[in-house]
Amino acid sequence: MILATMGLHASSAIAELSDADKIQKRGELDSYFSSALPRTEPLAPVKSAQKLRYTASGATRYGYDDNVDLDQASDGDSYYQERVGGTVEYDPNAQLFGRPTTIGVLADYDYLGYFDRDDMNRQSGIVAPFLRLKPGGRMVLDAGYEFRVRDYESQDDLSYLSHAAKLRLSHQLMTGLRHKAEFRYERAYYSDRKQLQPGGIYSPDEDRQDGRYTTAYGFRYHSGGLTLRLEGSWLWNDSNDQYFDYNDYNDFGLDGSVSIRTADRWILTGFGGWHQRSYDDRIRVLVSTETQEDDWYYAGGRIFFALNTWSGVDITATYSKNDSNDPAHDYDALNISSGYHLYF
């Protein structure tokens, strides 16, 4: 975050967030909490050709965000979003550790554009090869690598690329009930953002890099038209920014959802969660010794209607609120959108 704009002199005033601060805050929450908000539309149907299986889908979404900056000003704007992605899986005539294996790759591209806020426009892409083993006892082990690029059109210092290693073990306890444990390590490299040195000055040589450790454990229950999900997670972000360890934090969260298929074409979903983020040494006020802590709550719902076997539409509303011991980071936001989904 651009600390020079905050003023590094001793002052009891609450630090104002710069435009770059706001954009980065939005990017952080979008990146992390997008995984917490369930994709409640049906999954793309699996197609097969001998030992090869594949899926492909796309979506177009229009919506209104009443607090683009995630701050007290509540500056709203309409936006549109385009997404396309898919997976390919293959079962080779080979075994690993005496167990059948599946190899595959997942790819996804996403573009988000605001109509009046070009500074918020961004695009991201993911390519993630993986290996799947079935150790036995109704267990499935997935190990994979992920390459991600996130690019902001007018904020180069917030653009980055990252490499990640992922490991997930899932186990079916009984019919319809499955639980899973997951670990992920990601290393993010910022392309035009320098490291913050202890004095609050940017390094002339070193770029910012963040290491992100994530662990999660959750349950999924499915019976008939009912699906329940509940997951707890912990995220540790370890940045090389040295000024007050400004971007080092721990995030603990609980996320859940319930979906009901009321008929062949309708799916009703409610979801919500809570996350607490504690910064290691980011002081709440410039002369204070108290570090920043945020509690983030969200709740929402989605109505999905299948037009046919290869397309559908949805209406989604999400309300979120951040309670922070730093008033500059208090906000609430309402997002309402509608999307068209295509499976091909």
Per-residue confidence at 193, pLDDT binned at 50, 70, 90? confident
Q: Are 72 and 121 in contact (CB under 8 A)?
A: no
Instruction: Look at 264 and 332; give whichever has higher pLDDT.
Output: 332
Distance (Å, rounded) from C-alpha 178 to C-alpha 230? 11
Mean pLDDT on 271-291:
85
Element (H, E) at 29: helix 19-33
**Model pLDDT for residues 109-141, shown as the tens digit of each residue:** 999 999 998 888 999 999 999 999 988 878 999
* Average pLDDT of the residues in 309-337: 91
Across 335-344, average pLDDT: 92
Percent of the chain with pLDDT over 70: 89
Least confident of 87-96, 267-276, 288-297, 308-317: 87-96
- Which string of b and e fits 301-332 if b means at least 16 CB within 10 Å? bbbbebeeeeebebebebbbebebebebbebe
Q: In this model, does residue 222 exceed pLDDT 50?
A: yes
Domains of the chain: 3-343 (2.40.160.40)
pLDDT at site 188: 95
Average pLDDT, the chain: 86
pTM, to two decimals:
0.86
pLDDT at 175: 92
| Residue 195, CA distances (Å) to 119, 198, 199, 239, 252 in order | 22, 10, 11, 9, 26
Residue with tokens 């073990």: 169
